[in-house]
Amino acid sequence: MAKMILMHEGMIVREYTLDKERTTIGRKPQNDIQLDDPTVSGEHAALLLIQNVYIEDLNSTNGVLLNGKKVSKRQLEHGDIVRIGRHELKFVDEKANSFDSTVVLSPSQVLPEPKMGKSHAYVVRVTRGPNKGRTIELSRSYTTLGKPGGQVAVIARRGSSYYMMPMGGTGDHSANPRINGEPMSAASVPLNDGDILEVAGDTMSFTAAE
């Protein structure tokens, strides 16, 4: 199922499931996704569900940015970032991100299942950086890491598995959060027990809760 994750200043505001043929976005209260922002038009854009999901600008004043580029109508891909005014919407296509989807991959392309310990409850422990010593519980569906206006990542919990997603970005992967020393280039990366995460100056360890 396709979803949009609404973010403002790096923080998750709400999650919207795209189960209608047309989902409207704008400043007016009758919109399906209302954005309280003076730079957003009354009826700014629409999400169209026609087999795939499309974003369409409804002749707005300030336009719609898709991954940093202005668009009038474009099909969305998993991980795309739509910017409207001061808000960002991240497109999450769970079918595209599912390990059970019927996609033919070569052996080198197959993503491994996350290697988890016996406990399904996990935390992030900050080992270096401004927040050293802090432990962040991953009990919610989405947990935001980082600084608004700077480097931000989200850890998504799906059942007993966890995935990390970089938020925002300009296409320069070297500026993205890192997992085990490597900058994130994928829209969503499965986390394994013991992974080392680097976000906004903090180094963290993804480990099972005690």
What is the spatial distance between Cα 48 and Cα 166, in angstroms, rounded to a whole number? 25
Domain count, the chain: 2
Q: Are residues 83 and 129 in the same domain?
A: no
What own/partner pairs with CB < 8 Å and gap ≥ 24 does 4-7 have?
A: 4/33, 4/47, 4/82, 4/89, 4/90, 4/91, 4/92, 5/89, 5/90, 5/92, 5/142, 5/154, 6/33, 6/87, 6/88, 6/89, 7/87, 7/88, 7/89, 7/90, 7/152, 7/167
Q: Are residues 27 and 89 in the same domain?
A: yes
DSSP string across 38-72: TTS-TT-EEEEEESEEEEEE-S-SS-EEETTEEES
Q: Identify the domain containing residue 164 by its residue range.
A: 122-208
Q: Are residues 197 and 142 in the same domain?
A: yes
Cβ neighbours for 51, distance < 8 A, ≥ 6 positions apart:
none
Q: What one-character DSSP code corresponds to residue 174?
A: G
Inside any domain, residue 101: no
Inside any domain, residue 47: yes
Q: CATH number, domain at 136?
A: 2.60.200.20
Segment 106-125 shows an average pLDDT of: 58
- pTM (global) more than 0.85: no
Q: Are residues 69 and 151 in the same domain?
A: no
Q: Are residues 88 and 9 in the same domain?
A: yes
Segment 202-206 shows an average pLDDT of: 95
pLDDT of residue 41: 97
Side-chain-facing half-sphere of 32: CA atoms under 13 Å: 16
Mean pLDDT estimate for the chain: 82
Strand order in the sheet with 196-199: 135-137, 122-128, 202-208, 196-199, 178-179, 182-183
pLDDT digits (tens, 9 = 90+) for 74-111: 999 888 889 999 999 989 886 654 433 333 333 333 34
What percentage of the chain carries pLDDT values higher than 90?
45
